[in-house]
Amino acid sequence: MKQGIIVGASSGIGWELAVQLAAQGYQLGLMARRDGCLNKLAASLPGEHFVQTSDVTNAEQAQEELTSLIDQMDNVELVIVNSGVGSHERLLDWEVQRQMIDVNVRGFAAMSMTAMNYFLKRGAGHLVGVSSAAAHFSSGRTLTYNASKSFVSDYLNGMRSRAAHSKMPITVTTIEPGFVKTPMVEGQPLWMASVERAVTQMVRAINNKKNHVFVTRRWRYVALLLDIMPNALIRKFV
């Protein structure tokens, strides 16, 4: 039986990842802060699954909890780090910024490092990190969120180099979604995909062991454009 862990499984993309992977026969370890949501999710999935309540803002404790969950399961081959928060930063509020840094940077790195160390010990594995197309530009409206996602994408690229140097069959997949219809997204922005459609593309990339994927695919061209646009021009729009 294939086994995988989803960090940040209690809603949105993480929830739908669990639904689609369980339908493919995965036994899952489900991690997030809200145990009620995790238990509801586990009960709705076919088969038996593991639940681990964890708050990645307490990075060191979350590392211990992820390690414990791996130990409880038999042979984890896939870890998806999906935990993330975002907010429009209408004011420069340190509490808002600190939460995003704690989850999107500290928490993400702690979970990814724990997973990679396990895969290096196991001799194989697949680390998946959910970043964002926002990693490709800066914005005064969401400056901390965009910067944190830039960290995520760069960190995963570094992990991919580590995996290559190890000479082991370890895959690192970076997923950079555009707008996906989750509670985190405000309004009706351009090219917003349903959660189901977005996750279907993510799961296909995971199954095909892709190194990098944009969701939906058209965001690849947006990212390429943003990468070459001068900051002065980007500021006129964001």
List, in sequence order, every residue forming a beta bridge with 5; answer none if it has no partner. 29, 79
More confident: 62 or 180: 62
Query: How high is the pLDDT of residue 181?
Result: 82
For residue 166, the model assigns a pLDDT of 97
pLDDT at 81: 98
Alpha-carbon distance of 70 to 75, in angstroms, equals 8
Section 186-192 average pLDDT: 66
pLDDT category at 137 given cuts 50, 70, 90 is: confident
- With tokens 């680390």, the residue in question is 127
Q: What is the pTM of this model?
A: 0.93
Which residues constitute the domain of residue 143?
3-234
pLDDT in tens, 95-117: 999 999 999 999 999 999 999 99
Tokens of 33: 């802060």
User: Which letter does DSSP use for residue 30 in this model?
Assistant: E
Q: How far is CA 175 from CA 45, 59, 103, 198, 204, in A?
A: 24, 22, 17, 10, 11
The domain that holds 192 is classified in CATH as 3.40.50.720
As for how many domains the chain has, the answer is 1
Is the predicted pLDDT of residue 124 greater than 70, yes or no? yes
The length of the chain is: 238
| pLDDT beyond 90 at 227 | no
Selected residue with higher pLDDT from 224 and 188 = 224
Other Cβ atoms closer than 10 A to 54: 26
- Contacts with 96 (C-beta within 8 Å, 6 or more apart), sequence order: 87, 89, 144
pLDDT at 108: 98
